[in-house]
């Protein structure tokens, strides 16, 4: 090979690897960090599960925070409502806390997707975008329960087979405040109105 050809070959190889990175980052395309409400909606739609902290009603930690894992969905893939829905049973330890005090906090992070590892962001880095929701958990009925079922069962297919004698019901996390960590400079707050008005995905023209 002539030495004149080598830079061309190098360029082609780099070009190929750039194309590779481009296609993998396409899978999770986060909105710009200054569009905080959109980032929050994006995270809420990407994550299939959340950590939920309740105020414990169980000895020996009565009155203390209690964080547990829940499957969530704010809608089938591509249909984001922004409302985290859950499939719950009163047999569950945290749900028993909610019967005493429905107030809770939900956190979701892009560390739960491939995004942070691919970008080399530690889960505690604000660049590994994450949200904390404040609010309470409410049972939903009627048409909202129909949507919750579609949202959850499409993304958590094994729920269909969960034991029927557990009396499962659909619930939503009723958001009163959204806290966003998606960049340096401290936590940012988003009101429920701003959050629900934001478009989580790139607008198609
Ligand atoms: C849904 O139904 C349950 C049980 O009948 C009731 O306790 C609850 O308040 C209802 N929730 C809403 C949002 O209407
Ligand atoms: C649900 O959240 C809204 C704010 O989005 C709040 O005004 C309302 O009081 C909450 N409802 C309950 C039952 O907590």
Closest by Cα among 95, 91, 87 to 149: 87
Tell which one of 83, 102, 139, 174 to mutate to probe ligand 1, the residue whose CB is within 8 A of the most ligand atoms: 139
- Distance (angstroms) between ligand 2 centre and the Cα of 16 equals 50
Tell which one of 90, 95, 141 to mutate to probe ligand 1, the residue whose CB is within 8 A of the most ligand atoms: 141
The model's pTM: 0.85
Class of domain 34-195 (CATH, top level):
mainly beta
* Domain coordinates in residue numbering, the chain: 34-195
pLDDT at 128: 98
- Distance (angstroms) between ligand 1 centre and the Cα of 57 equals 22
Dump pLDDT digits (tens) for 49-83: 999 999 999 999 999 999 999 999 999 999 999 99
Q: Which ligand is the nearest neighbour of the Cα of 137?
A: 2
Dump pLDDT digits (tens) for 83-137: 999 999 999 999 999 999 999 999 999 999 999 999 999 999 999 999 999 999 9
- Distance (angstroms) between ligand 2 centre and the Cα of 122 equals 33
Dump pLDDT digits (tens) for 9-41: 443 333 333 333 333 334 568 999 999 999 999
pLDDT at 205: 36
- Supply the mean pLDDT for the chain: 88
pLDDT at 28: 61
Closest by Cα among 106, 112, 90 to 54: 106
Tokens of 73: 């969905």
- Distance (angstroms) between ligand 2 centre and the Cα of 35 equals 24
Q: Which residue ranges have their beta carbon within 6 Å of ligand 2?
A: 136, 138, 174-176, 192
- Distance (angstroms) between ligand 1 centre and the Cα of 142 equals 9
């Amino acid at each position: 090979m002539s030495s004149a050809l080598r830079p061309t070959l190098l360029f082609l190889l780099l070009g190929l690897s750039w194309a590779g990175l481009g296609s993998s980052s396409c899978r999770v395309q986060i909105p710009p960090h200054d569009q905080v409400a959109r980032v929050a909606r994006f995270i809420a739609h990407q994550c299939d599960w959340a950590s939920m902290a309740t105020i414990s009603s169980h000895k020996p930690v009565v009155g203390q925070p209690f964080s547990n894992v829940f499957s969530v969905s704010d809608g089938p893939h591509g249909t984001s409502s922004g409302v985290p829905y859950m499939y719950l049973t009163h047999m569950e330890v945290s749900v028993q806390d909610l019967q005493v005090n429905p107030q809770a906090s939900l956190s979701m992070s892009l560390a739960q997707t491939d995004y942070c590892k691919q970008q080399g962001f530690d889960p505690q880095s604000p660049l590994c975008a994450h949200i904390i929701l404040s609010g309470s958990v409410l049972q939903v009925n009627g048409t909202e329960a129909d949507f919750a079922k579609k949202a959850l069962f499409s993304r958590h297919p094994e729920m269909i087979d969960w034991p029927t004698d557990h009396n499962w019901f659909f619930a939503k996390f009723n958001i009163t405040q959204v806290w966003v960590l998606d960049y340096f400079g401290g936590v940012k707050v988003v009101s429920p109105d701003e959050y629900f008005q934001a478009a989580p995905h790139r607008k198609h023209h």
